[in-house]
Every structure is written in C-alpha cells, then in structure tokens.
Structure 1
Amino acid sequence: MKNLNIKNQVKTLTRTGALVLSLFFAQACQDALQEDVISQIGSEYLNTAKGLDDAVSAAYSSMRSWYGTERGNNFTEFGTDIYTNGADGSWKFMNTYTNQFDSQTGQVRELWDDLYRGINTCNAVIERAPGISGVNEATKTQRIAEAKFIRAHHYFLLMQLFGPVELRLEETKVPTKIVKRNPESEIYAAIIKDLTEAIPGLEARKASTQYGRATRAAAEHLLGRVYVTKGTSSSKAADDFAKAEPLFKNVISNYGLRLLPDFGQVHAFGNEINDEVIWSVQYTRSQLTNGGGNNAHVFFLMEYDTQPGMRRDTQNGRPFKRYRPTVYALEKVFQNRENDSRYKKSFIDVYLSNRPGTFNTTFDRSKPTVTFAQGDTSMFIPGFEMPATERAKRKYQVLTPSMYDEKLFPGLVKHLDPGRADLTQFEGGRDYIAMRLADTYLLLAEAQFRQGKLAEATATINIVRRRAAWPGKEAAMEITPAQMTFEFLMEERARELTGEQTRWLDLKRWGNLIERVKLHNPQAAPNIKDFHVLRPIPQNQIDRAEGGPSGFPQNPGY
C-alpha cells in the first residue's frame, strides 16, 4: 500500500496574499525519497497537474500543526478532568487557566495561522482544480473532495476552540484587512456542506490507493461528530443526533473496519496501520521531511530516568512530565481493573533496569538499598496501595498512589516511540491515529443516548466494553440500560480515549467543562471561569483586522 507522504507546507497566506510552496513530496515509503525542494514558487505552479497534487498534499500537512504536537496536546489534555500538569514548567497556565493564557500565547497564534493557511490552500485547490489541464476528471473530483474534507476539519476545530471565526471560502490572492466573525450557524452550514459534497468523491476506506488520504469513512465519521457537536450548540436542530446515527453506522458496517481483538494492539509501536484506524496523520523518519514530528511520545511520561537502576533510553522515552493523570482518572475512571484491561494496557507499570548496580532507594523507603542486574525489574507501579511489609519483600522499588507527585506517576504507553534515532530526539516519526473505530462506536452511543434510545446505546457501548475485557470477563463488562447514564458514557470515553486529543473538546461539547474541572482537577479549579469554554483570539489576528478590536472582537474574558 502506498503512503501519502505529506511534507512541509503549501502556504497560501491569508493576509499577505502570497502563494508559497514549501514541501518535499515523496513516493511510497518503500520507494526512494524524492528530495526535490520546492520553495517560494509563484501562484501559477498550482495551475499545473503536479502543482495540484502538491497543493493537496501540503494542505494535509497543516494537520501536523494539531495532531501529535505540543500545541494540540496542550489544547486538549491540559485543563480537563482526567489530566493535570506534571513537574515541567512549560505551558502549565493552559492547565491552571491563569491570566498568562491570553491573546499573546504563541501556541494560539501558531495554530490559528497554520489552520488558516491550510484553509486558503484548500480554497485555491477547490477553485482552480476544474480548470487545470492534464488531470483526469476522477482525480480532480477526488482532490477537490479531499480539500473540502480538510477545510471542514479546520473550520470545525477552529469553531470548537474559538467560537465564531472568519468564514472564508474563496482563495485570498491579495492582502486584505476586511475580516469579520461569521455566526456559528453559517460556519456549521459550510462545514456540513463541505463534508456532504466530499463524501461521494472520496475513495472508500479499503480502496484507498495512498494511505493517509481522506476517505469516505473518515468524512462520514467527521460529519457524524459535527452533528453530535452541533446538537449541543446554540445552532442545534431537533434532528442533529438523528442525522449523526446513520453516518456512524455506515462507518462501522460498510468499510471493512473492525475493532482489534486486543485493545493493547491499537497503539502498539509498529502497528499504526491496522483495521481499527479510520484515518491517521502521516509522519516520517526523515528529519528532512518530517516537519516538527509527532511529539506526543514525550508528554505523558514520568521521571523514570533519574531513579535507581535507570537511565534514559529510546525504549522508555524522553520524559517531559507534562501531563499527569488526575486522582479521578486513576481511581474512578479506571477503577474496574479486574474485568477491564484498559488500565493495564494504557499505563506503564514496570520498568526494567538499564543501569545495573546498587543504589539507595528514593521513594520506596521499605528498604534502604536496591541492587539490579541488566533487565531486572527496577520499579513496579501496581496502581494500588501496597503495605510497606509487602513492599519490603520486593527487590525493587514499588511506587504506590500515595507516593505520586508531579514527577512520579503512571505514564501513558500509547504514544511511546522507540523508533527514534536517539534518546534525545523530540521529532517522533509515528503516524498519529486521528480517527478510530472505537470512537465511532462511542459517538454512536452518544447520539443514540441523546435520542432516548437507551437499549440501542447500551448495546453499542457494550461492543467497546467487550473488546476491552480481560479474556473470560466479557460478560462481566457488559452493562444494562439502567446503568447507561451520561456519566457512565463520559467515563467510558475517558477509559477508551485517554491521551488521544479528545477530552477538552468532549467536555466543551457536553457543556460541563467548568463543572468537571472544578470537581476533578484541583490545580485548575481555583481559576477556571465560565469564559474559559473558548480560547483567546490571537492578538495578531485582531491587530491586522480593519478596525482592530471592533472589526474582529476578542472573546469575552481575555
């Protein structure tokens, strides 16, 4: 199968009007890398067959501003009910909601600009493709459909984060300061129109000739999510959840997708292309063409590398100690570990020594010293309190919940990237799984629940739960309609999707971000206010608008 190897960006700069192509376009991953640098090329290049393909590939690369990045994770993991900050100092204010998180925040500006560049590239593709010679009509139709998928994706993300934004559906070719914030209803209408028009022109999931291109399954999954989100917004319609339901069912039934039998294999290193993945964002191992890389591997890890018997290595990762699970996440969400395998398969519980020797203990004072040979267990994180008398019998340190702090806590296994070139490399090369079938099932259950279809929602969610069961525990994992509450659904999404850039957006959609952060995130609770359901508009956007703040108003509270 060929991969869609998107490289750096084709940028149609929304405010400067310059079309800039800056990318490396390669063949399939098994082919030799074609390292032709195309940079600062005039607008006419896009009017060629090669230019059209390069522009679409570069539009995909704008996804790399969000998925697997520091900014994408900070926007979605920090300041939620299941993740709070660890010891690292960077960006803590995005968890604690202090006034440092304002319109000058660099990550807000970067994301806004990158998404609008991607949108304007899509606008150029959609407008120009029909008139380009040397491209067959089927390919034109597909490329336009891909551009509409990307444009809809970006506007949906922008609106969830910032509320009403500028809706620009034509290519910006000359500088302009005339901008406005379009009503939410107009933006939803444009997103739905784009995805509805894109679906027939996209390849079916199994027929996709280049892995990484948008497919009908991806567009239907996204459109279903749009309807579920719209159904809780000020633009809601009575039939939003009813419209979402058949879209999710179609994704589940008609594209050869399936839940993997083992939850632990979904994110296993080397298994990024599997039958549960609906769509993923492509990264590579080449420093020349990987952009900033998939960096998710660094953020969810504890400080294992300073502990007795351990040093940093590529297998265990580079620990930024950025995101720490809340007590609520560990003790309530992942409480059922007897039947549910997802705690064990989501978090790291054993470290094997890579630095043999004898050391004084650091956190487990049940014994004064520990001695390790290469490969011995150096740390065990059982996830429950173990008496000191029991810990003293172990030849390694045991980290129990009462010892957790901002440096020591269960790390997430999902994003580990032992394929990095060395132990300091930040730019990971794993593809980022952006949409997968378990999420489709959970969104379907949510749409059914919202329609009062409790029996159907229960049956849907039980499919995900049976897969998550330890062998022989499938029946014990099933719930009844009486147990199918919205609280349960929220926790099920946390169990299945923790660390996958969904939680803040979920809480925003459900309308309970403030409530749940106050309940479950003590570091964020004192500062979070009602206005934090929106992010600040970047100051550079306001400054370049005609009329400044009156032409493009800031969100309340910032």
Structure 2
Amino acid sequence: MKKILNLKRSLAVISLLLVTMSCDIDEVNREVQDTNLVYTSVVGYEGLINYAYNSLYYFYGKLDGIGAQELGTDLWWSESYLAPYTQYGSELTTTQGQNRVFWDGFYAAVNYSNLAIYYADKVTDYTEDQKKAKVAEAHFIRGWSYLQIVEQYGGVVLRTLPSSIDSEKENFPIRSSEEKIYELILSDLEFAAENLPVSQGTERGRASKKAALGMLAKAYLQRTRLGDEVTYATKALAVAKDLIDNQVAYGCALYTSDPTTSGYAKLWDGLNNKMNTEFLFLESIDPVLETLANPEGSNRGRTRQYYEMDLRHVGEDWGTTQSEDQWYGRANSRGLKPTKYLLTEIFTPEKDPADTRFENTFFTEYYNSRRSGSSFQNWTLTANVINKYVKDPALVGHVIKGTLGTYTEGQVHYGGKTNFYGFVRASQHSNMVDNDNDGWLDGLSIFTPNYAMTASEKYSLPFLIVTPDEMFEPNGKWVTATSLGGLGAYYKDCHPSLNKFSSIHWIFNNQRWMGDVPILRLGDVYLLAAEAVLRSGGSQTTAAEYINTLRKRAAITSRENEMIIAPGEVTLDFILAERARELAGEQVRWEDLKRFGKLNNAYLNVTNPDITGFVDGKHIIRPIPQTFLDAIGNADEFGTNGY
C-alpha cells in the first residue's frame, strides 16, 4: 500500500528534484526557480501535499496535542504532569514547550497548505478534476489547522499565502478577528466537501468527502459561539444530516450491537482498527516492521502511557509490572487522572450498567504480570504489603496467580508482511481462573472501579481495591499524600486508565501502539447533529432520535431499551455530558467547553475543583509563544494573549 504521510520519503523526493534540476537553471533567482520547478511537477506537488498532512503525527496520539486539546477541562487532572495545562498555574507562559510545538506545528501545516494552493494552477500534468481533488486536500488541511489554532489562541495571524511569497506580513503580522479566521475555515472546508473524492482508495489517512463533511459540520457548529447561532447551527445540521442519511454513499457506518457485544465495543476492537467504518478522518499508522512508514517510525501511539495508573510503585507491591506487561502501557510519568465528575457523574457509577462505554474507555482491572523466565510467576502477599495498605492480616501468604502470557489469539497480519504480532507479553493470558470460588479471578492484583464497594470487601478481598471513596476527598478533589491517614500517598496514583488506544492487536511495546488514531468519528457527527437541532430551534424529539441511535449502539441488544432517553431529557447540558461519555480522551474537550460556554471558573470549580488557577477572560485562550514574538518586528503591537 502506498504510504502518503512518510515525511522522510517526501523530503527525499523534493531534495532529489532540487538537486537534479539546479544544474540547468540560470544563476539568477535560482532558489525561487528551483522551488517553482519542484512544486509544479506532479511528483513534487504531491510531496508538498504529503508534507501538509505531517502535523497529524505530532498531535494525535502524542503529548503535544493532548495537552492543548483535552486538558484543563472538566475531565482530567494531574498534580505534576503537564501541570501548565491541567492547573493554569504560573508555568503556563509564552515559553511553555508543548504550547510552542502546537503553534509551530499547525502553522507549518498552514504554510504547506498555502504552498499547495498557491502552486496548484502551475501544475500542468493534472486534469482539471484531478487538480481540484488534489488542492481540495490542501484546503481541508488548512481549514482543519486553523480550526485548532483559533480555538486555542483566538484571533491571531491569518496567512493565506506561503511565507516565501508574503515575507512582509511574516515579519510584521497583523491580528485577524476570530470571525475573519472562521470565514477562511468555512470556505476551505466547503471547497473540500465539494471537491474531495468519496474514496481515496487504499490510501488511509487522506481526507475524503466524508472527512470534509464531518469537519465542516463541526466548524459550522463551533462558529456559533461567536454569534449568529441559528444561522450556523442550521448549516451544521444540514451537513451532518447529509452525512448521516447517506452513510452508504459516503462509505461510513456505525457499528451495530449483537446479543454479546455492543457496537461501541466493536468500534474499539483492534480487528476493526485499520478499516474502521466509523473513522471519518484518521492518523494512519503503518505497523509493518519492514517499512514503518511514519514520521518517527515506530514511535507512535503514546497516548495510553500518559493516562496510566501507577503500575510501577503501588502496582509492584501487588504483582503488576509496567516493564513486563506490554498491554497496559508504561506509567513512567504518573500521568493524567480522570476527575470524580467523569467517573461518577458522566458515567453511571454502578457495577453492571447497560452502557458499555465506561468499560470500553478505561482499564479497571490489573492482573499479576510477574514473569519467571518465559512463563508467569505467582505473587505472594507479605505482611509488609498487607500492613502498608491496611488489609486483613489473614491475607498474609495469599498467592495471586501469575497471568502473564504471550499474546497469540486473534492475531492480525497486515500488508502481507512479517511483523511483531505474537511477541506481545500481556497479563490475563494465563491462569484466568477462580479456584477459590470467591467470585473474583485469582490473578487480580488491583481493582479501580468507578462505583462504591463496602469497607468489608475492600478490607478482606485479596487484592487492592481503590474506589472513588479512596481516590477523592469529600469536596471532589483528588486525595493527596496526607489524606486518609497517609494512605492517600498510594491511592492518589490509582485510578482507571484510558484504554481506547490500547487494543492488544496493535501493541508494539509497553509504550508504543501501532493502531490508527481517529481524529473525527461518525459518532461525533450524530452528537453534532443533535446539538445543531437544539441550537437552530428544532425539536427535542428530533435531537433525541440522533442521540438514542448512538446510545443504543453502546449496549448489547438485550439492554438497548435501557439506554433510550425521552425527548424532554435532551438539553445542551445533556449533550455536553453525552459527548464526554462518547469521546473522552479523543482530544475534543477543550473546544467543546468553549462552544458550550463552560470554559469558566464557576463551571470548573464544580466539575474539576482541583483547578484553582483559572482566570476568566484570560485562560480561555493559550499564550502566544515567545519564539514567535521574538521573530517578528512588532511583538509589542501584536501582544501575548494576556500572558
């Protein structure tokens, strides 16, 4: 399969063309003429388009996108990791690292898109239809990039020409209003929706018509926060409805439930990852060892390690290991933790809910993954561990069965190539038994449910149990090292871990995951449609139909009726909560809160009370990076966004 997002390959193509052509070019204006020759050739032009896609690889499934797009919201907290984003403290400045990368990366995507748009009419070997389809990709990427920029930074620089062509505005830029930036975003995405092909064939990761329609609906709806709500919501609904009503024609579909598996579970099943019918736009990852045609090669899919509970310190007391168990991920950063609001209000805190989205969003069970040679190792509980965690002394000497095995079941082979499957060491692949008949598997080491359990259960069961009662103070804040008589020192690092990007089929090692990462999903579009109905003055009944379709596919067929909500329950607040249930961890929450008018101190005090530094009117946008300010001639005039 042709790889479209291989930066190394694009670099090689453009560099080779420049070298081979420069010998025949007059010395005058050689650099400009070399560039013209490269970009006006089909090979060079397509390499340029590929460059424009490149930013995806550094923001989705990677830290620099997660910080800006998901953190500092109602869903996640960290006491130290990515603290500038989670806490709005003094470290959130014009010099903060991830913030600078975000700015630079998306403006790089804009510049490559501008180059492609500028040179489109100069490429002679395309038919008119081919040219429109190709340049539509550049318009899509530019619109998508500016949507991220304006939602993070507000009204900043609006560039529609390549930096090499418009150097004066590069050196002395002017601010554009958010409204003006949205004019370009919507124009770009409208052009893309009209001119992109329905399918890009085998080239996963390229934008097609369904991606443009979905992103256009999102952009129209996001624009409502600046005014003219009914107008833009009506447009968003029309586009979303077109996509939903014509899924077969556009090549997409929701997964449907059956008696044993929900459609939501199928959505995240690794066997469905590489040809996923719900992914409208995605970061395409090549998992084949012989090629690994991705920027940074195998260094992909790091999302899961950032959201992992502490399997290195607390976990090792109970038999888990982050080094041996490649499935859970490496918790080397004691990272991002769900809020009480997410665990107990967004999701229903009960043992067996009809809604399967919690269990398909989080790991809550952690098993003994000790290894002895090539096999598992049992783990015996000592008096030191029992006393440390104040468990029943009768548990001293209890054996937690080893469950580590080599993953072999359900392997997938990709691209007809030999790859790494069959070499994944993971817990839950040996000794998954309940020989003592206590209702729990004998290899369970740690359990972090989102529902309450009795004090007796937590005391006497032979594994560590950490429920919301141990995770959170009564005021909803995360426990600290001094909480609960000192037990908070252990409990503060124990929590459910995000598992959407941990399907065992695509594990590379305990940090890296080689599955495709969705940037826009069909499930999101259903929720956009429901929201657009309400914002455009439509009926709650119509909005409920969109939501109930999505909610029913989150349950097995025998429990679908438990998921149906009445029209009267459908409000904008309900939809915002539903978006968290459906999309938690998928890098959309920041823009959701902005659109719903919830990115303010009053709302965050209730839903994420650990956030104490949020300043209304300031923190609704991020600081403009110092590197940009230092590079322009009018930094004082331009401003820093108040930082």
Report the 3-state secondary structure (helix = DSSP H, G, I; strand = E; otherwise coil) of the residue aligned with 2:520. strand
Report the 3-state secondary structure (helix = DSSP H, G, I; strand = E; otherwise coil) of the residue aligned with 1:469. coil
Q: 1:444 aligns with which of 529, 537, 540?
A: 529
Aligned to 1:32: none
- The answer to whether 1:371 aligns with 2:399 is yes
- The answer to whether 1:293 aligns with 2:309 is no
Q: Taking structure 1 as reference, are residues 442 and 23 closer, same or farther at Cα in structure 2, changes over 3 Å only?
A: farther
**Aligned-residue offset at 1:117:** 1.4
Aligned to 2:363: 348
Largest Rg, 1 or 2 = 2
Q: Which amino acid aligns with 2:76?
A: Y
Q: 1:170 aligns with which of 145, 155, 161?
A: 161
Q: Taking structure 1 as reference, are residues 55 and 438 closer, same or farther at Cα in structure 2, changes over 3 Å only?
A: same
**Aligned-residue offset at 1:467:** 0.9
Equivalences for residues 57-456 of structure 1 within 5 A: 57-85=50-78, 89-173=80-164, 175-176=167-168, 177-205=171-199, 208-234=201-227, 236=228, 238-254=230-246, 255-261=250-256, 262-272=263-273, 273-285=275-287, 289-291=294-296, 293-306=300-313, 307=315, 308-312=318-322, 313-319=325-331, 320-335=333-348, 337=350, 338-355=353-370, 356-360=378-382, 361=385, 363=389, 365-367=391-393, 368-369=395-396, 370-375=398-403, 376-391=443-458, 394-404=461-471, 405-416=491-502, 418=504, 419-423=506-510, 425=511, 427-453=512-538, 454-456=540-542
**Aligned-residue offset at 1:301:** 1.1
CA distance in 2, matches of 1:24, 1:491: 47
Q: Deviations over 1:65-87 (max 9, x none)?
A: 3212101111122211111115x
* Contact 1:363–1:399 under 8 Å retained in 2: no
CA distance in 2, matches of 1:95, 1:23: 40
- The answer to whether 1:504 aligns with 2:496 is no
Report the 3-state secondary structure (helix = DSSP H, G, I; strand = E; otherwise coil) of the residue aligned with 1:435. strand
Which has the higher mean CA deviation after the structures are superposed, 223-232 or 361-370? Answer: 361-370
**Aligned-residue offset at 1:455:** 1.2
Q: Taking structure 1 as reference, are residues 259 and 321 closer, same or farther at Cα in structure 2, changes over 3 Å only?
A: farther
* Contact 2:445–2:463 under 8 Å retained in 1: yes
Q: 2:628 aligns with which of 517, 521, 541?
A: 541
**Aligned-residue offset at 1:347:** 1.4
* Contact 2:449–2:496 under 8 Å retained in 1: no
Q: Taking structure 1 as reference, are residues 502 and 150 closer, same or farther at Cα in structure 2, changes over 3 Å only?
A: same
Aligned to 2:619: 532
CA distance in 2, matches of 1:407, 1:336: 20
TM-score normalised by length of structure 1: 0.89
Measured on the aligned residues, the alpha-carbon RMSD in Å equals 2.5
Report the 3-state secondary structure (helix = DSSP H, G, I; strand = E; otherwise coil) of the residue aligned with 1:532. coil
Report the 3-state secondary structure (helix = DSSP H, G, I; strand = E; otherwise coil) of the residue aligned with 1:275. coil
**Aligned-residue offset at 1:100:** 1.0
Q: Which amino acid aligns with 2:346?
A: V
Q: Deviations over 1:454-477 (max 9, x none)?
A: 111111111111111244221221
Q: Which amino acid aligns with 1:314?
A: Q
**Aligned-residue offset at 1:64:** 2.0
Q: Taking structure 1 as reference, are residues 475 and 105 closer, same or farther at Cα in structure 2, changes over 3 Å only?
A: same
* Contact 1:385–1:401 under 8 Å retained in 2: yes
**Aligned-residue offset at 1:492:** 0.6
Report the 3-state secondary structure (helix = DSSP H, G, I; strand = E; otherwise coil) of the residue aligned with 1:210. coil
Q: Which amino acid aligns with 1:84?
A: W
Report the 3-state secondary structure (helix = DSSP H, G, I; strand = E; otherwise coil) of the residue aligned with 1:434. strand
**Aligned-residue offset at 1:296:** 0.9
**Aligned-residue offset at 1:157:** 0.9
Q: Taking structure 1 as reference, are residues 309 and 336 closer, same or farther at Cα in structure 2, changes over 3 Å only?
A: closer
Q: Taking structure 1 as reference, are residues 325 and 366 closer, same or farther at Cα in structure 2, changes over 3 Å only?
A: farther
* Contact 1:9–1:61 under 8 Å retained in 2: no
CA distance in 2, matches of 1:316, 1:271: 20
* Contact 2:231–2:536 under 8 Å retained in 1: no
**Aligned-residue offset at 1:24:** 8.3
* Contact 1:518–1:528 under 8 Å retained in 2: no
* Contact 2:179–2:226 under 8 Å retained in 1: no
**Aligned-residue offset at 1:288:** 6.9
